[in-house]
Amino acid sequence: MKSDSLKEKLTYICRQFRIPGEILVYRWIPSGHINTAYYVAVYNGKEVTQLLVQKINTYVFREPVGMMRNIERITEYIRAQERTMEKRRRLHFRHTEDRKNYVILKDGAATGDDVDFQDESVEFWRVYNFIECSTSFETADGDPEVLRMSGKAFGRFNRQLKDFDAGQLMESIPHFHDTVYRLRTFFATVEKDPLGRAADCRQEIEVIRKHSEFAGTLCRQIEAGALPIRVTHNDTKTNNILFDKDTLDPLVIIDLDTCMPGLACYDFGDTIRFAACTAEEDQPESMKLDLALMRAYTEGYLSEMKDVLSAAEMDSLSTGAAVITLELASRFLGDYLEGDRYFRIDYPEQNLRRAQAQLVLFGDMMAHMDDMKQIIREVGA
Ligand code: GN1
Ligand code: MG
C-alpha cells in the first residue's frame, strides 16, 4: 500500500471513531506476528491525541465481532474491580457513532457486520488510547526484574479474572491450546506436505512425533477434571505488557484477543517460553532455558496467584511451559509447511527457525524439569 493512501485510510478510520483532525504522525509498530498496529497522532487544532490503530487479522480471528465482545466484557469486569484506576492503566477502546468498538471496511468504506471476513476486500479495525511513557520488551535481555514484573502483571490478570464466568466468552480461536488437536492438525499437514518442504525438516518432525504422548498431558488432565478451566490470556509474551518506562511498573496488558477459557499453566508457561530463555524466538543456536529468569517470573506470578491455585495447578506450571513450547513448535513448523500463511515472517525460513528454536528450548526444559519444579516449590512454599 502507498504510504499516502495509508494515511488517508487511517484518517478515514479515525473519522469513523469520531476523532476529527489531521494526522501529524503515523508509523507501523513492528510487534506481534498476527495483527497490524499503527501509532497515530491526530491534531484537532487544540490538542494532540495519541492512538493505537489496529487491523485485526481475520484469517486468524474469524469471528472478530465476538472477539471484541469478549474483550469488552473482560475489560469492564476488571475496571469494576479497580474503581480508582488511572487512565494509563486502562485500555480505552474508541466507539463509533453506533456504539461499536470496531469498524468494518469493505473496499475501503465502512459497512455493517454482515460480511464475509475471509473476503480479501474486507478489513476489521479498532482504535484505542496510546499509553504514554510506556515501554514493552521483545526479550527480557537477561533482566530478572522484567520477568518479576511480568509475572506480577499476568498473575494479577489471572487473579482478577478468577471468578469470571468462562461461559460468557466465545472461543476466539477454537482449539487454541488444545495440544492434541494441534498435533493432529500438524501431522495431517506433514502428510499433505503441500509445498514439498517436509523432506527438509524430517528431524524436527520426528522430535515432535516422539513427544506426542507428553504433549497430551494437559488435555488428559482437563478431561479427567483435574485442572480447573479459568479465563486466561493465552498469549503471555512480555511484549503484551506495557510497563512504565521509568519504574517498570506494569501498567496494562494488551492483545486481549485470545482471552478465553484456558488453564493457568498456559499463561505461566508461555512467558517462560518467550522470556525466561537466552535467545529470541528464531535463534536456535543460542537458545537455552534461563532458570534465574524463570525463578524471577515465578516469584512475580505466585505473589499474586499462590493462594488461588490448587495443588494440581501448582504442579502443572512447569509442565505447561514445556507443553506450550512443543505446541508452538508444531504451529510454527506446520505454518512453514503450509507456506507461512499464519505467522508474519521477515525472511523466508523464519518459521522453520522459530520451530527449531522452540524445539531446542523444549529439550532444555525437559532436561531441567526437576529444577523448574523445585523452584516452583520453593517460591510457592
Ligand atoms: C502470536 O500476535 P502475537 O505475536 O502476540 C500467536 C501466539 C504465539 C506467538 C508466538 C493469535 O502472538 O499464539 O504464541 O505469536 N497468536 C495467535 O510468538 O496465534
Ligand atoms: Mg502481541
| CA separation for the pair 358, 103 (Å, rounded) | 36
Query: What pTM was computed for the model?
Result: 0.95
Asked whether the predicted pLDDT for residue 2 surpasses 50, the reply is: no
Weakest mean pLDDT among 131-135, 284-288, 330-334: 131-135
| CA separation for the pair 29, 259 (Å, rounded) | 22
Chain centroid to CA 191 = 29
Q: Which three cell numbers stand for residue 186?
A: 500438524
Q: pLDDT band at residue 86, thresholds of 50, 70 and 90?
A: confident
Q: Which amino acid is at 234?
A: N
Average pLDDT over residues 272-291: 97
Q: Which amino acid is at 163?
A: D
Q: Which amino acid is at 192?
A: K
| CA separation for the pair 297, 303 (Å, rounded) | 10
- pLDDT at residue 4, rounded to an integer: 61
| CA separation for the pair 318, 315 (Å, rounded) | 7
Output the CA 258–ligand 1 centroid distance in Å. 9
Average pLDDT over residues 202-230: 98
- pLDDT at residue 133, rounded to an integer: 84
Asked whether the predicted pLDDT for residue 87 surpasses 90, the reply is: no
Q: Which atom, in ligand 1's list, is nearest to the CA of 342?
A: 19
Average pLDDT over residues 165-170: 92
User: Which residue out of 34, 67, 283 has the highest number of ligand 1 atoms within 8 Å of its CB and is therefore the one to mutate?
Assistant: 34
Q: pLDDT band at residue 1, thresholds of 50, 70 and 90?
A: very low
Chain centroid to CA 305 = 20
Asked whether the predicted pLDDT for residue 353 surpasses 90, the reply is: yes
Three-class DSSP category at 287:
coil
User: Which residue out of 235, 332, 358 has the highest number of ligand 1 atoms within 8 Å of its CB and is therefore the one to mutate?
Assistant: 235
| CA separation for the pair 52, 352 (Å, rounded) | 31
Closest by alpha carbon to 323, among 215, 241, 234, 245?
215
Q: Which amino acid is at 338?
A: E
Average pLDDT over residues 317-343: 98
Average pLDDT over residues 131-140: 84
Q: Sheet containing 122-129: which strands, arranged edge to edge?
A: 22-29, 36-43, 48-56, 122-129, 103-106, 109-111
- pLDDT at residue 84, rounded to an integer: 67
Output the CA 191–ligand 2 centroid distance in Å. 31
Nearest ligand to the CA atom of 175: 1
120 vs 82 pLDDT, higher one: 120
Ligand 1 pocket, CB under 6 A: 32-34, 60, 235, 237, 240, 255, 258, 281, 328
Nearest ligand to the CA atom of 254: 2
Question: What percentage of the chain has pLDDT greater than the value 90?
Answer: 89
Give the mean pLDDT of the chain: 95
C-alpha angle 245-249-254 in degrees, rounded to nearest 5:
85
Structural domains of the chain, with CATH: 3-132 (3.30.200), 144-380 (3.90.1200.10)
Weakest mean pLDDT among 75-84, 249-258, 321-330: 75-84
CB 375 within 8 A of CB 66: no
DSSP summary character for residue 277:
B
Asked whether the predicted pLDDT for residue 3 surpasses 60, the reply is: no
Asked whether the predicted pLDDT for residue 250 surpasses 60, the reply is: yes
Percentages (nearest 5) of helix, strand, coil residues in the chain = 50, 15, 35
